[in-house]
A = this chain, B = another copy of it.
Amino acid sequence: MSAYDELMAYQRETAALAEVAGRLSWDQETMMPRGAADQRGEEMAAMETVLHARRTDARVADWLDRAEARNAVAAANLRHIRRDYDRGVKVPARLSAELARLTSLAHRVWAEARADDNFAAFAPTLKTIVALKREEGAALADGGDVYDALLNDYEPGATASELATMFGALRPRLVALREAVLGKPQPKALNGHFDEQKQMQLSRMLAKTFGYDMSRGRVDKAVHPFSSGSGDDVRITTRTNGLDPFNCFYSTIHEVGHAAYEQGIDPAYRLTPLGRGVSMGVHESQSRIYENQLGRSRPFCGWLFGQMKDAFGDFGIGSEHAFYAVVNRVHDGYIRTEADEVQYNLHVLLRFDLERQIISGALEVEDLEEAWNTRFEADFGFAVDKASDGVLQDVHWSGGLFGYFPTYTLGNVYAGCLMKALRTAIPELDAQLAEGDLSGATGWLKARVQRHGGLYEPRAVIEKACGFAPSEAPLLDYLEAKFGALYGL
């Protein structure tokens, strides 16, 4: 065997073990008995130790030295493995295991603090997580920017300053759009109770409609919707709320976007470095275009209106257009995951700015809740009522995911670019969506983005798919056109 082949065989086993660790996380969120949390912490830490040891094994360095790339796929594989190895050797195994153990335990602490609306109960744990993440970031940064080093775990090649520039261009036009929209009369909100079992049934139907392969996945309920796994075992979760079926449906469609990306990757790449989505930003571009540009479009809403009437009978909305307005209702709210397209990115910018300060040390964890509440009121014009509606609403920080939030907005920006290109590629798109036929759109995304997996660098995937350099302009144009029309601006 050549050095490359030996390396890839080794890598394949490592990828299989990483899948196992991912399945364990899924289990923790969906199936694990409450009393098993401590033991699970040890199990996760043991897996992390094994994975870390494999990724930093001296043989990998040796194989990398000797391996030759015979083609573009091999070159991409080596690029990923080299990057992982370089990152792996910088972080001590002890720190890596400690983070795995702590974030596993922290999940329960966060969930209880959230249930009690008590940030103080979570703060000491978060403080320890932040200290470890700073240590990790410093080890990775090698004298460079600590936050960038963490960000690059989710978005290789991105920098906070570059994102801050992009977000700076987004912000004024989003603020102006938000103010204009909220100055107009609002469509009425949805009223009534929607059976949660029927929500789950319709949810599974929507998942299939958007191309989710149920024979290689499953849908369960969890507190925080997520997608997990790659290749032939990609599972999603969603949640239900009797008063708000859209929360369930659009969480599902969003997670199907993530899952379809993983399921859509060229099967030849399975359990190789190319067999996973290339970055969180590109991942989010898929979940967002499924959820928003496609799922909340006028023609698709017309089709969904019919499906909901079939499932729930008359629910007090008289026309497709009224339904479309309700689905896209811009409304005050505390929760990022329930935010409309106009305001969603403002939630992300808040978190991006706060977590950069937390990591740099400009903001202490003890002061985080107050900083959150102050910033929230400044951005949204009303006060946070309780911690579960504020600083405790998201699971991310309890899992040590600093640097993750900005990829949401980057994904929205990429989704804006892809939608522009998709409309050019499929002029009859709206007619397809009006029939509930997503195959044209999801087929194009699979062919242009998803199937490549990790073959290209994140930004290059989007640029190749679109045929133009990605920027925030298409997203802003789309939002202003859509909500301008809806609200008669």
- Closest Cβ of chain B to A295, distance in Å, is 23
Chain B residues in 8 Å Cβ range of A356: none
Contact B42 A12 (CB under 8 A): yes
Tell me the bound Cα distance from A47 to B21 in angstroms.
11
Contact A17 B46 (CB under 8 A): yes
Interface-forming stretch among A26-34, A323-331, A366-374, A466-474? Answer: A26-34
Interface string of A25-65 (1 = CB under 8 A from B): 00100011111101110110111011000000000000000
A interface, by DSSP: helix, strand, loop or mixed?
helix
Tell me if A218 is interfacial: C-beta within 8 Å of chain B. Answer: yes
Interface-forming stretch among A209-217, A343-351, A393-401? Answer: A209-217
Tell me the bound Cα distance from A124 to B239 in angstroms.
44
Contact B35 A47 (CB under 8 A): no
Contact B216 A49 (CB under 8 A): no
- When A50-B50, A270-B39 are in contact, do A16 and B45 touch as well, CB less than 8 Å? yes
- When A20-B20, A23-B24, A49-B13 are in contact, do A216 and B43 touch as well, CB less than 8 Å? no
Chain B residues in 8 Å Cβ range of A218: 31, 33
Contact B43 A20 (CB under 8 A): yes
Tell me the bound Cα distance from A197 to B218 in angstroms.
22
Contact B42 A271 (CB under 8 A): yes
Query: Closest residue to A270 on the B side, CB-wise?
Result: B39
Tell me the bound Cα distance from A33 to B235 in angstroms.
9
Contact of A233 among B12, B40, B47, B271 (CB under 8 A): B40
Contact A35 B216 (CB under 8 A): yes
Contact B233 A36 (CB under 8 A): yes
Contact A33 B271 (CB under 8 A): no
Tell me if A231 is interfacial: C-beta within 8 Å of chain B. Answer: yes
- Closest Cβ of chain B to A6, distance in Å, is 15
Contact B20 A24 (CB under 8 A): yes
Contact B43 A16 (CB under 8 A): yes
Contact of A215 among B34, B40, B215, B270 (CB under 8 A): B34
Tell me if A19 is interfacial: C-beta within 8 Å of chain B. Answer: yes
- Closest Cβ of chain B to A258, distance in Å, is 16
Contact A46 B13 (CB under 8 A): yes
Tell me the bound Cα distance from A217 to B233 in angstroms.
24
Chain B residues in 8 Å Cβ range of A214: 33
Tell me the bound Cα distance from A14 to B17 in angstroms.
14
Tell me the bound Cα distance from A31 to B237 in angstroms.
13
Tell me if A232 is interfacial: C-beta within 8 Å of chain B. Answer: yes
* Chain A, 366-422, CB within 8 A of any chain B CB: none
- Closest Cβ of chain B to A467, distance in Å, is 34
Contact of A19 among B31, B35, B39, B271 (CB under 8 A): B39
Tell me the bound Cα distance from A42 to B195 in angstroms.
40
- Closest Cβ of chain B to A453, distance in Å, is 15
Query: Closest residue to A213 on the B side, CB-wise?
Result: B35
Chain B residues in 8 Å Cβ range of A231: 36, 39
* Chain A, 231-248, CB within 8 A of any chain B CB: 231-233, 235
- Closest Cβ of chain B to A78, distance in Å, is 21
Query: Closest residue to A21 on the B side, CB-wise?
Result: B20
Tell me the bound Cα distance from A43 to B23 in angstroms.
11
- Closest Cβ of chain B to A370, distance in Å, is 36
Contact B16 A233 (CB under 8 A): no
Tell me the bound Cα distance from A45 to B271 in angstroms.
13
Chain B residues in 8 Å Cβ range of A13: 46, 49
Tell me the bound Cα distance from A233 to B36 in angstroms.
5
- Closest Cβ of chain B to A208, distance in Å, is 13
Residue among A17, A40, A43, A47 facing the most chain B CB atoms (10 A cut-off): A43
Binding site for B on A (CB under 8 A): 12-14, 16-17, 19-20, 23-24, 27, 31-36, 38-40, 42-43, 45-47, 49-50, 213-218, 231-233, 235, 270-271
Query: Closest 7 A-B residue pairs measured CB to CB?
Result: A36-B233, A16-B46, A35-B216, A35-B215, A39-B232, A13-B46, A36-B232
What are 20 A-to-B residue pairs whose CB atoms are below 8 Å?
Answer: A12-B42, A13-B46, A14-B46, A16-B39, A17-B47, A20-B43, A20-B47, A23-B24, A23-B43, A31-B31, A33-B216, A35-B213, A35-B216, A36-B232, A39-B231, A39-B232, A39-B270, A39-B271, A40-B233, A42-B271
